[in-house]
Amino acid sequence: MMSINEEFKETKISVIGAGSWGTSLANLLGVKGFKVKLWCYEKEILDSINTTRENKVYLPEITLSRNIIPDTSLERVLAGTNLVVLVVPSHVMRETLEKIKPFLTKEMIFISASKGIENHTYKTMTQVIEEVLEIEPSNCGVLSGPSFARELGELKPTVVTIASKDPDTATYVQKVFASTYFRVYTSEDTIGVEVGGAVKNVIAIASGVADGMRLGLNARAALITRGLVEIRRIGLAMGANPHTFSGLSGVGDLILTCTGSLSRNHTVGFKLGEGKKLDDILKEMRMVAEGIKTAKSVYNLSKKLKIELPICEEIYNILYNEAKPSRSVERLMTRRLKNEIDFNFDV
């Protein structure tokens, strides 16, 4: 176990959400020496960690630090905490925050490690946090980047970004999380980091569809490249820094999720490309593929912002309108010919 620097002796951490990513982040902090309270929605997860030191449902075969204290009570988990890491699926973020609100204290800093855009408001997770909890942006941030939970659980080198509108908050959280195998960069572009982390899941479904259809590596490379254009396009329309999308939470996370065998979103796309129905795919999955719900948010937001996101639109049609993947490929390949550089959004 690593030793904690003196400046962090008073840091009390709660991780809300005991899925694979929440569990691996709690374990990272526990291995560093922090006592980490982990909120478990499901009692079977609590029992599994207490009896075997494993999350046998979401992160099996990873021995967890004894510094992790699991609990199903939000009140107990949040008592005395000053750093709250939110790792619940994006579609239940608002509901979870409403339950957290009675236990809110002014000392708490909230960091989102969830990737998604809310369906009905088109808000990012930090925007939802700020709205529901009525806190200042300086008390909020987002952690994102190319990071599979299992590899972090195995203590393999991982590099991410922590973004907050307050540089001091970002630097503080950076130092809390940083370790010999977890490198953290800072950013002030919360919108850009969140858009990159959310929309890349939609592109990963597209990459999976192409792989499931056996379209080849040329097609996958094209989807990743043009997918990054779409991520950047929607990000800039929402006020993001264009340079963010060349970084870890942009192209880094996009490459990982579009190519890695551990990607749930790529897996969903792959099965769709093979001809399976979405309902049947979801019945086989216990963990959430965030890109499914985010595809709806991105599609509707693109119409509101009046921007073209052809790949995201085709994934929306496949997921929600039962469009045939082969027809989507044909539409993408026969779109109006144009210059590669998007001058309307170039800076």
Catalytic residues: 200
Nearest to 84 by CA among 126, 33, 116, 123: 126
CA atoms of 108 and 117, how far apart (whole Å) = 23
Class of residue 159 by CB neighbours under 10 A (exposed 0-12, middle 13-18, buried 19+) = middle
- Please provide the size of the chain in residues: 347
In angstroms, the Cα distances linking 123 to 4, 44, 71, 134, 227 are 35, 32, 29, 15, 21
Beta strands in 175-279 (DSSP E): 182-187
86, 112 in Cβ contact below 8 A?
A: yes
| CA separation for the pair 330, 343 (Å, rounded) | 25
Three-point CA angle 95, 111, 267, nearest 5°: 75
Amino acid at 253: D
Degrees, nearest 5: CA angle 27-33-36? 50
